[in-house]
Amino acid sequence: FQAFVLVGLVADSQKVRRLACIAISSLLENVQLVLVYPLLLSCCIDGDEQVAAASSEAIRNLAGYEEGLGIVLPNIAEKCSSLGRVRVLALIVRLFSASRSVASEVSRSGILSLLEAEVRNTNDTLVTLSVLELIYELAEVEHSAEFVSKTSLLQLLSSVISNDAADSILRSRAMMIAGRFLSKFRSVLSAIDRRFQAADECECALEALGQIG
C-alpha cells in the first residue's frame, strides 16, 4: 500500500497528491519516513494551497515521532521560490507550535535562523510581510518566548521598527509582534519586583532591572 501512496505524492493531479498526503498522516507508523519526507516537502513547496496544507499537516505529524523529527529538521531548508520559502517557514512555525519538546529540537537545530534571514532580506516587501505574519503566529505560541530569546529576532524587529526607509506596514507589524513577545516577560518582571521585599535579594533585583534598562 505504501508504494501506491508514494506514487500518489508525485502524481500530476493535485487532488491525488492531496489525498496521498492525507493517507500518509494515518500511515506514519508503517511507512519508511526517509522515503516519504522528501516527497511531502516537495508537495508543501510545489503543490497548490490544499496540497501544501495537507502535506504540512503530515510533516507536523511525522515530527511527532522521534525518528521523524530527526529526518525533518536537518532537511527542511530547501532552495526554492519565494512562495516555497514562505511555505517552508510556515511549516517551521507549525512544527514549533506542536509541543515544547518539538520546539526545543527546532531551536537546537538552528532553523529559526531561516526566519531571521528572511526578515533581513528587504528585496521583497510582500515576502517580508508574510514572514512577519508567521513570526506573529510564533509569538502566540505559549512556549515561544523561551526559545525566541536565544535568537536575534527581537533585535531584528527593533531594526525594522527603527528603519525610516522601511514600508510603514512592515514597521507597524514589527511593533505588534515585539509587543506580543515582550508581554510574555511581564511575569519575569513581576517576579523580580517581588524580590525587593527580601532584604538579602533587594540589591540583586535592582541590578537585574538595571540590566533590562
Long-range pairs, 66-70, Cβ under 8 A, ≥24 = 67/33, 68/28, 68/33, 68/37, 69/102, 69/105
What is the predicted pLDDT for the residue at 174? 92
pLDDT at 38 over 70: yes
Q: Which tens digit of pLDDT belongs to each residue from 98-147? A: 788 888 888 887 878 888 888 888 788 888 999 999 999 998 888 887 88
What is the predicted pLDDT for the residue at 2? 67
Any idea which of 26-30, 155-159, 173-177, 205-209 has the lowest mean pLDDT?
A: 26-30
Average pLDDT of the chain to the nearest whole number: 82
What percent of the chain clears pLDDT 90, i.e. is strictly above it? 16
pLDDT at 69 over 70: no
Q: Three-state DSSP class for 201? A: coil
Q: C-alpha grid cell for residue 9?
A: 505524492
What percent of the chain clears pLDDT 70, i.e. is strictly above it? 86
Instruction: State the pLDDT confidence band at 76, using cuts at 50, 70 and 90.
Output: low
Residue range 205-209: mean pLDDT, rounded: 79
Instruction: State the pLDDT confidence band at 16, using cuts at 50, 70 and 90.
Output: very high
- The whole-model pTM stands at 0.70
Using CA atoms, how far apart are residues 118 and 85, in angstroms rounded to an integer?
9
What is the predicted pLDDT for the residue at 78? 57
Q: Which tens digit of pLDDT belongs to each residue from 160-173? A: 999 998 889 999 99
Using CA atoms, how far apart are residues 126 and 166, in angstroms rounded to an integer?
12
